[in-house]
A and B are shown apart, each in its own frame.
Chain A
């Protein structure tokens, strides 16, 4: 007989240490995989996790990659904390990119300090509006937000396809599915010559600070947490559930929209069909790995960003297939959920009792 019992003695320190444990287990599991594939595990792990950030350029790339992940995950933490399952951050990112990109094209050839802030703001609003669709449908028509938000990802993708192929395609671009390169005034300022790290990182850091403020220092944050822990309590306390659902989706969508606009005005510089390599989905892993905590999410986004970079260097130097990066992301989530289970539940092995036979 196996008996599963709930533990009541989970301390906060252990709760925040398990993600680190999950990362170490992933390293260990990854080492075994490399060994089975015939690589020296220590060397492979070195190329995977150390080589990519061993110089300034690599470190800047890590931040470039982590910026959108962190931003989206922060937004998602508002939804997830309050039991709202927004799976469509990818769509909100793309829609934010579309709106921001449209404004950037509108300002094509304009100079002026006001251009970039307007683009960034419109991107955030775009993502926000797109996220409100599942929220409003959920609150007023009782639809399932998981399905609606997920299906809207494809709507956003197809809309982007349509725009870059048709009305917004570069007039001098031989019909290739992409817009013009945005004007210099519509681009995120680069922080250091020769590196790609851009001002978007400040937006992310400000967002992290603001979300910490909202989540831990305001009444709204308290409501979000209570609703997440017990919906019944929240109702009993008289919180306006509907308004809160819409607000968390708006925050989440705005963050995803900011991430989208940061990508197109930062490293990409135009709209095309591949503005995001599924950041919106990967950010779900980041949010949970970071324990839905703003500071935790910063570290989690760096770790997950590193798995992307590592997969590239491992392929360049050792010809390890690039998909190992995704295997690592999967393993991190697997070990995290596994150790969570053991953290919250006790498994007791009991002998078989006679009367049970």
Chain B
């Protein structure tokens, strides 16, 4: 009896929330894992949010939401307070997003970098960052003198391993002698750890530093040591003007605007998006002229070819570290293989941490 009574109250509250939401203006909510001022991952998502705002749609965000027990409450609060579309922008929000989506069938959810779409109102999206890594590999292979490329990696998930492999393959194509050295830091954002890793790689002879982490620390260390570097997530040129050859930019703005307008106009449908250079979700910052105009032209051509599909980052023959064939000559890796990639290609040093 008592329990039933509570149920009525709760469902009444939910209904109240839904009816308020139907009448109110269309609103889009964003959940960020870091502060908007991190100059990396969250910063770029917030740039995307600003583009939605500029398109005339109201937005709200909550920053620094831990990926633990708090995420579900924040997502639910956004849903309850009349947000019609909610972007949850970190992998750790995957289960909470799906859980809240179940209780709010009229609200649309978009989860970045995840793979679970348990309800029809949940979409997932990510970017083909590896295409940018191919360009980085080409430049690295041409620019290195020591033939050692230093790579700071976050977690051994397919996305990160894909980047390492794409870079190594492209570098080998222009310079068969290169070796990729990796330091795993097991964090997305820790300037201290990232600096130490960059320094360790430079000490081991790397004269190119790149990273799959979010802070600007690695490029700053590279600038001081006088080696080449690449920015990650956003254009980090001003943090290391001499050292940076280019940055891979995550440009979420076009996607966020498109999906927000679709949701507002009622044309939103569940999908799994994986956009790259072609759609502009992956973009490149201006190339550093220090690498010479010939190389710049080469890279620009490669960028066009990757965007048009003429070239693919994973074109066979590709071998793993032991020499077994992964992708046969003449074919390219399919998306399924890319999504679950968990082996290094030949030329990468060390083992994937298990």
Contact = CB atoms under 8 A, between A and B. Distances in A.
Interface of A: 55-57, 61, 64, 161, 165-166, 174-178, 181, 192-196, 263, 266-269, 272-277, 308-309, 312-313, 315-317, 319, 321-323
B78 A192 contact: no
B13 A267 contact: no
Contacts of B95: 181, 269
B80 interface: yes
A165 B95 CA distance: 18
Given A57-B13, A176-B91, A275-B68, A192 B62 contact: no
Interface residues of B, number: 42
Contact of B158 (A175, A181, A272, A274): A175
A277 B155 contact: no
B354 interface: yes
Contact of A267 (B62, B72, B186, B352): B72
B275 interface: no
Nearest to A309: B73
B115 interface: yes
29 contacts: A56-B6, A56-B13, A64-B69, A161-B186, A165-B155, A165-B186, A166-B353, A166-B354, A175-B157, A176-B157, A177-B155, A193-B6, A194-B14, A195-B10, A196-B72, A196-B73, A263-B69, A267-B68, A267-B72, A268-B68, A268-B69, A269-B95, A272-B68, A274-B66, A274-B68, A277-B68, A315-B63, A316-B62, A323-B64
Interface in B60-96: 60-70, 72-74, 76-78, 80-81, 91-92, 95
Nearest to A192: B6
Contacts of A266: 69
A312 B60 contact: no
B240 to A, nearest CB: 28
A61 B73 contact: yes
Given A56-B13, A174-B115, A194-B103, A317 B64 contact: no
A316 B76 contact: no
A272 B71 CA distance: 14
B9 interface: yes
B60 A174 contact: no
A322 B62 contact: yes
Contacts of B316: none
Contacts of B63: 315, 321-322
A176 to B, nearest CB: 5
B3 interface: yes
A274 B80 contact: no
Interface in B13-67: 13-14, 29, 60-67
A57 B103 contact: no
A57 B68 CA distance: 18
B83 to A, nearest CB: 9
B280 interface: no
Contacts of A275: 68
Contacts of B3: 192
B62 A312 contact: yes
A175 B67 CA distance: 17
Interface string B96-133: 00000001000000000001000000000000000000
A312 B68 contact: no
Contacts of A192: 3, 6, 10
A176 B6 CA distance: 38
A196 B66 CA distance: 17
Nearest to A161: B186
B77 A165 contact: no
Contacts of A161: 186
B191 interface: no
A61 B13 CA distance: 15
Interface in B173-202: 186
Contact of A177 (B29, B70, B186): B186
A272 B157 contact: no
A45 to B, nearest CB: 18
Contacts of B186: 161, 165, 177
B7 interface: yes
A57 B63 CA distance: 22
A56 B7 CA distance: 11
B315 interface: no
Given A161-B186, A174-B157, A194-B10, A315 B62 contact: yes
Nearest to B354: A166
A266 B69 CA distance: 9
Given A263-B69, A268-B69, 16 more contacts: A57-B13, A57-B80, A165-B353, A174-B158, A175-B156, A194-B103, A195-B10, A196-B73, A267-B68, A268-B68, A272-B68, A277-B70, A315-B62, A316-B77, A321-B63, A322-B62
Contacts of B7: 193-194
Given A56-B13, A174-B340, A274 B157 contact: no
B342 interface: yes
Contacts of B78: 316
B156 A57 contact: no
Contacts of B81: 316-317
A319 B103 CA distance: 25
B75 to A, nearest CB: 11
Contacts of A313: 77
Contacts of A178: 92
A269 B72 CA distance: 12
- Sorted from nearest, which 5 A-B pairs have the closest CB atoms? A267-B69, A274-B68, A277-B66, A194-B10, A274-B67
A312 B67 contact: no
B64 to A, nearest CB: 6
B341 to A, nearest CB: 9
Contacts of A61: 73
